[in-house]
Structure formats: C-alpha cells, structure tokens
Structure 1
Amino acid sequence: MKAVLERKSEEALNNNSSIWRNKQFLLLIWGTSVSNLTFSIFTMALPIMIYELTRSAFAMGTMRAIEFLPNLLLAVFIGVLVDRFNRKKVLLSSVGLQMVMILTIIVLLLTSQLQLWHLYVLGFILYTSAYMFGNAYHSVLPLIVDKEQLTSANSVISFLYTFVGLIGPALAGMVLLVLNNIYGLTITAFGLLVLLLFISLLKLPFIKKEEDQKKTSMIEEMKEGWYSLIENKELWNLTIMVLLSNITSAATLSVFIFFALDVMNVIETKLGIILASTAIGGLVAATVAKKMTRWFTRGQLFIWSLAIQSLGYFLLFFSLDWYWLVAGMFCNGLSGGLMNIHYFTLRQETTPNHLLGRVAGTSSMLMKLAVPFAFFGVGALAEFIPVHFIFLGSAIGTALIIVYLIRTPVVYMR
C-alpha cells in the first residue's frame, strides 16, 4: 500500500501541481460530463413517456420516488461491492448496465411494447447502476489525484456538474422538440458509450487488499464501514450536519415553487431565472472553494456556508419581490456547493481507500434518509400554515445546526 501511495504522489508531482495536466483525471471528468449532458435528455424524456402512457400525476411521482430508492435501500450494499472489486471494472460494469437499460427502452418503443412497469423496473436498475458509478467515481478520485489537489478536483467536478445541470435541460428540451423519444434516448446511449470508452482508457494504481484478501461476510464489511465513519469524529459530525441541512433544504424546496407561483405571482420566465440562480450559486462555489481555504480553516468554511444558507432562507421569508427570491436561491446554491465540495474532499482525505466505498455509501444513505419524509411532512404542514413560515423554520433550523457544529470538534478543524 505504501509503495502505491508513494508512486501516486510522485505521479502527481510530475503533473506540475496542475489538475489540468492529470490525464487520468481529465479522462474521468470529460467522459462523465459528456454522459451527464446527454443523460439530461433521458431525464426529461422519462416523465414525458410516463405521462403519455398513463396521463397520471401519481405515476410520474412514483417514478420520482423510485429514483431515491437505490440511495436509501442499497447505498451501503453498493459501497461494499465497490470496495470488494476492482474499481475500474465497477465503473465499466455500471456504465454498461445503464446502456443496456436505455437500449432496452428504445427497443420497447420501437416495437410499441413499452408499458409503465417496464419503466419502473428498468428505471430502478438504471438509477441503481448510476449510483454505483457515482460511489466508485468518488472512490477512484484519491487514487489518481494527489491529496493536496483533492479540493481543486472536487471543485472542478462540482463546476462541470452544475454547468451541465444548467444547460442540460435546455438542450434536452430542444432535442425532444425536434426529435422523438427514440432519437433522444439514442443520443443518451451514445453519451454513455463515450463514457465507457473514456473509462476503458483509465489507468488506476493496483492496491493490494488488506490481510491477504481475507474473506469476510458482507455484514461484517458493512459494519467495518459504519465503524470507520463514526470513529472519524469530524466526518461523523459533518455527516449529521449535512443530514440536518438536507432536511431544511427539502422543507424549503417542497413548497418553494408553489410559493413563487401562488403567493408571489411570479411568471414562468422569472421563475426560470430564479431557479437558474441556484445553479449560478453552485458555479460560484466551485470557483471559490479552493481559494477560500487560504483565508478560512475548513471548520470555519462549514460554519460560514451554513450561515449563508440561513441567510438565503431569511431572504425567502422576507421576500418583497421576485428578485428577493433570486438572492435567496443564489445563497442556497452557493452554500450547498461549498459544503459538498469540502465534505467530499474531507471524506476522501481521511478515509482509507479500501473503506471509501462503504463509508461513502453509509454516509450517503444517512444524509438522504430523512429527505423523503421532509417532503411529505412539510407538504402537509403547508396546508395549515402560511407557506413562507416554512422558510422561517428552515432559517432557524439552519442556525441551530451552526450551534450544534460549534460544540463539536469540527470547529477546530484546520
């Protein structure tokens, strides 16, 4: 293991300390960016196909819930698989499985055999394999990027992901307007093929398994990942922070569009600007995340990020016009981007790589665990109280998270 890490550090130094000279990193991010851009076509086509089959809002909502299931039900199991097997093979297998699912839907469309249950089953498999790719993706990063460059690498990944998320829906809308779903999904499959080719060129250092590849049960490996997470006090406290922050964010997002349209009487064009401001905040976060480490410790960065998030919720609560909503959502995008970049970096820096898949799976499951319940609970609560008081609750809740974080070792983290 030591020889592998020394070789990796030497390779990083040969890259003249520039992340853009790291060929393995470039293969990973450009392949993923192309795939994410074309996958946005599938993301838009999927609810359209369900609507055409059922004309049912419930059926569309069920598909949305299915997207969450792999993260909630299988994250820890997937983390074990990522740690057990060769990471490159996991990446290739997950991308290949996604391609098979997309091609199967295309065949069903061509033969006019597509039914709702097909989309549910194929969609679940597709989103499960996509989550597996994401877990392996973040576990591979410390193998190809030097520790000192991880913040820069995660900033680049966040910037590209947010940028694609900003332009992807517009591109998808144009493609589906001009072409039908079959051609649109064919473009998605082509993007996955590009990613498959890029991953096949990826060169990862060999890591010998601990204790001569001693075989243990899957339950024992899951426990090992869990213990590794809770024994890392800083990462554990930050995981709780993100969980609580996700609850306040879900509470806000569950009623935000209703508030904008029904209470603030925002027209559709302005609503698009408001929603885009969240992505712009994320782009700014990706641009400044590394630079901010020159002026603040990592502990201070998390606290300031939460303060910006709380400010954003207060701006939504006190909104007098639509541009207040722009400012509030920009703050939320900025704070979310900063927290994600530095959380992922800390997890990659402080977790032994042979445990990273399991720790990532366990922490991801915990962070998303309460989100669906927050969506349902706040949606019901909004029937009885003025909607903007949900934003006030989110602001106060985020301020309390800051109080919690100040009382943990995170505040002293360098």
Structure 2
Amino acid sequence: MTSVASTWGRAFSALRHRNFRLFFFGQLVSLIGSWMQSTALQWLVYNLTGSQTSLGLVTFANFLPVLLFSLFMGVLIDRFPRRRLLLFTQTWFMVLAVVLAVLTWAGVIQFWHILVLSLLLGLGNALDMPGRQAFVVEMVDDDKDDLLNAISLNSTLFNLARIIGPGIGGMVVAALGEAPAFAINAITFLAIIVSLLLMRLPPPVLEARAENPLGNLKQGLGYLLGERTILGLVTMVALFSMAGFGALTLLPVFAKDILHTGATGFGNLMAAQGVGALAGALSLIFLGERWHKGRALLASRVFIGPALMGLALSRNPLLSMALMVVLGYTFTTQLVLTNTLIQMLVPDALRGRVMSAYTWALGGFYPVGALAIGALGDHIGAPAAAFLAGAVCAGLIALNMVAFPRMQRLR
C-alpha cells in the first residue's frame, strides 16, 4: 500500500503547489471550450467553402503570427510579469470568441471574417504559448524535481480536454450549429482568468528588462545557435510539426468525404487523438522519470510516419480512430519530452526567449505544412497528400539520428 501511495504521490507531485493547482483546474475548463471552438470552426470552414485549401489557409492564418512574432514575444516574456501577460491573452481570446459567436449567430459570417479572426487569435497565441511554457517553472516554485511532472500534467490536461471538447463540440454543432460552441468557449475563459487572479506569486525576477530588447533577442538567438543539442531539439520539432501536424488539417475531409461520418465522426477522430495523447501524458506521469528521455524521444517519433500513412489508406472509421490514438500518443510524448529537456537545460534568465523559439518551431512551421498539404490535397486528394506527409515523417528519423546524435543520449 505504501508503494502504491508513493507512486500516486509522485504522479501528481506538482499539484502540491497551490498556484499550479489553481492553473490546472482553471485551464481544464477553458481548454474544453477551446477544443469545442476548434472543432466547430473547422467544420464551419469546410461547409462554407468545400475547399481543403481553405482549411489550410485558416490554420496558416492562425499560426502565421506565431511564425512571425513568437521570437520577439520571448523578449516580452523575460521583461514583464508572466501572469500579467497571460491575463491579457485570456481576455483577448474571450473577446474574439464572442465576436465569432455573434457573427455566426447572426448568419453573416464569411470566410474572410474567419481569416481575420484567426490572425488575431494567432497574434494572442504568439505571446500565450511561450508565456504558458515559461510560467510553469514559476508555478512550481522553481522546483526542478516537479518540472517534468508539471509539464506532463499540463499535457494530460490539454489532451483530456481534447477528448472531451471535440466530442461535445461535434454534438453541439450537429444539434444546434456552430455559434453555441463559440459562445460556450467565450464563457469558459472566465475559469482561467479567475485562477490567475487568485494566485500568490513572489515578485518576479526580470533580468532582461534593464537591457535593450534587440540585445535581449540577439542574446537568446546566440544561445540557441551555440547549443547544438537545444538547436536539434527545436529543429526536429519544427520539421515534425510541419509534416505531421500539418497533415491533420485534412481530418474534416476524411470525416466528411472519405469515411462519411459527418460532424460527429470528425469529433470522434479528434477525440481519438486526444485519447492517445492522454495515454502518452499519463505514461510520462507514472514512468517518465524512469525513462531514458533521449531514447524515448526518438522511439516516439518512429511511429508517426507509419501511422499517418495508415490513416491515409484507411476507409474504416474504427481503424482510423485507432490510428489517431497512435498519433496522439506519439505526438504528445515527443512534445512533452522535448519541452522538459529544453526547460531542464536552459537557464531561467533565457527561458522565455528559448521557449519562444520552441513555440516558433512548433506553431510557426505547422501552418506552412498545413497550407502546403491542404493545397496538395486539392490537387491529388487528401489520402495521397496525407500519405506523402507520413513518408516525410518516416524519413525525418534518419535525419534525427545522423544530424543530432547527442540528442539520443540525453537523460
């Protein structure tokens, strides 16, 4: 009994920190709403346009600001209190969700409205994504022993919401339309805003504030380029994000035109990915400290290519859902391990800038892949485009092993 209790205690050790606990539960509510909106928005776009390229364009618009501005946002994150920045981004997201709900409810929503709102959402994400990553260390009181656990719990939360949100979103869209899903999302942001306001944090140490912002940026980039292992971690995230995540932009096409399962089936595919991702995060929570992190990172990437190629060939909804479980597991384990390794290796004074580079790699290259794969899907079909993306991911394993051999030795 003592051994079991000890295992469970270690599995949730980060929750002993009050600030992280507040953030954890506030974020759970908010993320469910965000996944509802994401599912409803993709479905709305495909119904409005019938175009795979349009799906890619919306993704591109959503993440283009991340590609353009996230490196600069890292300077802000190291110069200003991170809680204050996150309060701003959550309020910004809530306002955008209200606008989207009103336009859709009024029946005047057009594709260009969605593109503009996606750009504005992406602008907030360019600050919010690296800001959240850098804020984790503060919420666990700089306890590096709880860092992997906190990141894994965050990922568990994200993917639990990914299971719940798309399923609810698909049912809401099928029964009531897209607007209620957007309105519910707007309301859920109140949970994370309240949790941030209730935190008790020590005065932040803002070493970068006294220096020139461009000098701060140059210092961060110089550190990244000079540390080959960290550069390798960021580079591989960029490439797998472009080819692997980019291919998942085609999921509405698979659900509607290939598997013929409609909005509910699309929600099920998204939820299946969430099930796999949750399993990956839980395996890291319970076993992560025992794993050789570098080898586990490489192993998680090996399955991405074959799973994508299998998804491209599948015409069975249950098989497609099973493959989405595999993709969810592998995507999550590689991202959590990469995130943890970077945060363990980088000094706190540079964390915001380096995590912005990580966000730039993850979120900035995703839209490039989504746009290219979406356009390719319009020309050769979604299955062929997804199969090619899977083949690229399989080829990246060789690049990973040859170009960055030290990555496999990280513990």
Which TM-score applies when normalising by structure 1?
A: 0.80
Equivalent of 1:309 in 296, 304, 323: 304
Paired with 2:178 and 2:390, the residues of 1 have a C-alpha distance of: 42
Alignment-derived partner of residue 72 in structure 1: 67
Number of residue pairs matched by the alignment? 394
**What is the deviation of 1:51?**
8.0
Code of the residue aligned with 1:70 in structure 2: it is P
Single out whichever of 302-311 and 173-182 deviates more from structure 2. Answer: 173-182
Residues 345-380 of structure 1 show CA distances to partners (whole Å, capped at 9, x for unaligned) of: 122222222322221222322344444443444456
Amino acid of the structure 2 residue aligned with 1:219: L
Partner SS for 1:208: coil
Q: Is the 8 A contact 1:225 1:359 kept in 2?
A: yes
Partners of 1:126 and 1:260 in 2: CA distance: 25
Alignment-derived partner of residue 4 in structure 2: none
Distance 1:366 1:225 in 2: 15
Would the alpha carbon gap of residues 292 and 232 (structure 1) be closer, same or farther in structure 2, given more than 3 Å must change?
farther
- Confirm or deny that 1:86 pairs with 2:86: no
Work out whether residues 78 and 207 of structure 2, in 8 Å CA contact, stay in contact via their aligned partners in 1.
no
Q: Distance in 2 between matches of 1:17 and 1:166?
A: 20
| Partner Cα separation in structure 2 for residue 314 and residue 47 of structure 1 | 22
Matched, 1:192 2:192: no
Residue type at the aligned position of 2:236: M
Q: Does 1:202 align with 2:199?
A: yes
* Whole-angstrom distance in 1 between the partners of 2:407 and 2:224: 14
Matched, 1:139 2:134: yes
Query: Which segment is superposed worse, 363-372 or 130-139?
Result: 363-372
Structure 1 29/72 Cα, relative in aligned 2: closer, same or farther at 3 Å? same
Q: Does 2:336 correspond to 1:341?
A: yes
| 1:28-82 deviation per Cα after TM superposition (whole angstroms, max 9, x unaligned) | 1111111122233443554677789x76757665433321122111111222212
Give 1:219-230 correspondences, 5 Å limit. 219-230=214-225
Give the partner amino acid of 1:196: I
Match of 1:365 in 2: 360
Conserved 8 A contact 1:312-1:331: yes
C-alpha contact 2:67 2:365 (8 A) present in aligned 1:
no
What's the counterpart of residue 241 of structure 1?
236
Residues in 1 aligned to 2:55 and 2:375: alpha-carbon distance in whole angstroms: 19
Larger radius of gyration: 1
Structure-1 residue corresponding to 2:327: 332
1:170 corresponds to:
167
Give 1:167 deviation, angstroms: 1.6
Cα displacement (A) at 1:137: 1.4
1:101-135 per-position Cα deviation (integer Å, ceiling 9, x unaligned) = 34455666788887765554444323322442222
How far residue 291 of structure 1 moved from its aligned partner, in angstroms, is: 3.8
Q: Which residue of 1 aligns with 2:23?
A: 28
1:394 aligns with 2:392: yes
Cα distance in 2 for partners of 1:225, 1:295 equals 31
Counterpart-to-counterpart distance in 2, 1:94 and 1:219: 23
State the partner residue of 2:153: 156
Structure 1 residue 384 displacement after superposition? 6.0
Please tell me the root mean square deviation across aligned C-alpha atoms, in Å: 3.7
Residues 4-83 of structure 1 mapped to structure 2, 5 A cutoff? 18-46=13-41, 57=51, 62-83=57-78
Q: CA deviation at 1:284?
A: 1.0
* Unpaired runs of at least 5, structure 2: 1-9
Say if 1:153 and 1:318 are closer, same or farther in 2 by CA, change over 3 A: same
Name the residue aligned to 1:411. Answer: 408
Aligned partners of 1:325 and 1:113: how far apart in 2? 35
What residue in structure 2 maps to residue 4 of structure 1? Answer: none
**Cα distance, 1:157 vs structure 2:** 1.1
Secondary structure (helix, strand or coil) at the match of 1:207 reads coil
Q: CA deviation at 1:215?
A: 3.0
User: What TM-score, normalized by structure 2, do the two folds share?
Assistant: 0.80
Q: How far apart in 2 are the matches of 1:133 and 1:185?
A: 20
The amino acid of 1:39's aligned partner reads S
The alignment status of 1:215 with 2:211, answered yes or no, reads: yes
Pick the structure with more helix per residue.
2
Task: Return the alpha-carbon distance in structure 2 between the equivalents of residues 358 and 380 of structure 1.
Answer: 33
1:271–1:177: structure 2 CA closer, same or farther, 3 Å change rule?
Answer: closer
Between the aligned residues of both structures, percent identity stands at: 25
CA distance in 2, matches of 1:325, 1:16: 31
Q: Distance in 1 between matches of 2:132 and 2:54?
A: 31
Matches within 5 A, 1:88-127: 88-104=83-99, 119-127=114-122
